[in-house]
Amino acid sequence: MGKLFGTDGIRGKANTYPMTVEMALIAGKAVASYFRKIDAPPKIVIGRDTRLSGDMIEGALVAGICANGGEILRAGVIPTPGVAFLCRHMNASAGIVISASHNPYTDNGIKLFSGNGSKLPDEVEAAIESMIVSMPNPTGHAGTDRIGRAGYLHHAIDHYIDFLTQIPPASFDLSNLKIVLDCANGATFKVAPRLFRDLGAEVISLFVDPDGQNINAGCGSQHPEPLAKAVVEHRADVGLAFDGDGDRLISVDENGRVLSGDQILAVCANHMKNTGTLDNNLVVSTVMSNIGFRKALKQVGIQHRITGVGDRYVLAEMRETGAVLGGEDSGHIIFLNHHSTGDGIIAGLKLVEVMLQSGRTLSELAEVMQVFPQALINVEVSQKPDIENIPRIKNKIDSVEKQLGGMGRVLVRYSGTQDICRVMVEGPSRNDTDKYAGQIAEAIRQMLA
């Protein structure tokens, strides 16, 4: 058995190892066993997105947790950050989200949260993984008199929306705004439209009819083209696109231009600095951030810390340094004064707040950052050896970096959740980035496919 936990929990194709009923059952037992050492009985919140396999995985997890004496609070379909909030709100021991985020419906995953609403530290995941690996009966069963029960949080969405409405200032009034929402046929399909309408906005909702198979299909944060078209057609002020589990945001300005997570971060960081709310004058992002983001922060005098890929590492650095804003170019954005994890809806609220308080359009605000052309190629691989130990690939990377000089950069890394090697090249022109990324990707295919 290989390593189960990647950068964002356990993930894979549903009904195929490791995302099988059998594995979910054992994972449930291991989670209950670990947290039973802290709370007896442990109380665990479970939520999921809309994909077809969610019921199947949830049933197995619930059975495993109950078998080891855990108490279950089922939240149903709810965004990932909603589960993180409920962990704190319900004084739970832990939380579980059944989702594969932005991946297609054929995939699924298991994400774990601590009782304080943060993703589990690596060492805790390692301890749980060790229990899972000791199959088939990693932790024994609770006694017959200690079998757990599973109940339902019938008003989970209401609690989460109440929490979200408290984030904007009292003067927050969206009655003059027209907003297009792309909910990716995912976990935000009920929450986001209701919230923004309650706050007074005129809302046009896209992709809010999940059928178990259409989550992220040509929509959401990974596919913002329909949103951009709708913003222009409806003459809307802004478009907000979430991913399948609602922890990412990609936005569209009034002209239909797509803004990345880096651009959203830059807009919010600049505004927070100007309003004196950017604690420690610091923003945290990952190595995947665009060069233009780094240059934008430097130009406005904001300090910048860089972490490895994964919002858990961004959060850890934020807590270490006292930063209140951080995130990823993919759209995971953390406002630590408001929530313990990345939340696409909160990011949308904060972006609209900047527009209202500044009196400027999103296209005007986005001028704070110049985006360098970026090419990203995902190469399917059959193995994941250290790139530094493969001369053909390393030499090609070194050659490209030399040709780019100080006007670009190269980042090659393996996905933490899929059998993919990601090749990212940034440079002064689209032709250069596409050409160089293609050369490196071809070297990887020849050696690792």
| CB neighbours of residue 179 within 10 Å | 24
Question: Amino acid identity of 4?
Answer: L
Residue 214 CB neighbour total at 10 angstroms: 19
Q: Which two tokens stand for residue 219?
A: 């929509």
Cα(97)–Cα(58) distance, rounded to whole angstroms? 9
The type of residue at 72 is I
Cβ neighbours of 211 (radius 10 Å): 11
Beta bridge partners of 331: none
> Of the listed 101, 114, 205, 260, which one is catalytic?
101
Q: Which of 328, 344, 182 lies closest to 261 in space, CA to CA?
A: 328
Residue 360 tokens read as: 């400027």
Strand partners, 6: 9
What is the Cα 82 distance to its own chain's centre? 13
| Closest-CA residue to 150 (of 44, 32, 71, 54) | 71
Q: In the annotation, is 101 catalytic?
A: yes
Q: How far apart are CA 290 and CA 108, in angstroms?
A: 29
Report the residue count for the chain. Answer: 449
Look up residue 105 and give its DSSP letter: T
d(CA 202, CA 331): 24
Strand, coil or helix: 94 = strand
Question: Do the Cβ atoms of 132 and 27 come closer than 8 Å?
Answer: yes
DSSP 189: T
Is residue 336 within 8 A of residue 318, CB to CB? The reply is yes
Bridge partner residues of 107 (DSSP):
13
| Residue of 21, 26, 18, 64 lying closest to 44 (CA atoms) | 64
The whole-angstrom separation of Cα 68 and Cα 62 is 10
Q: What residues are annotated to the active site?
A: 101
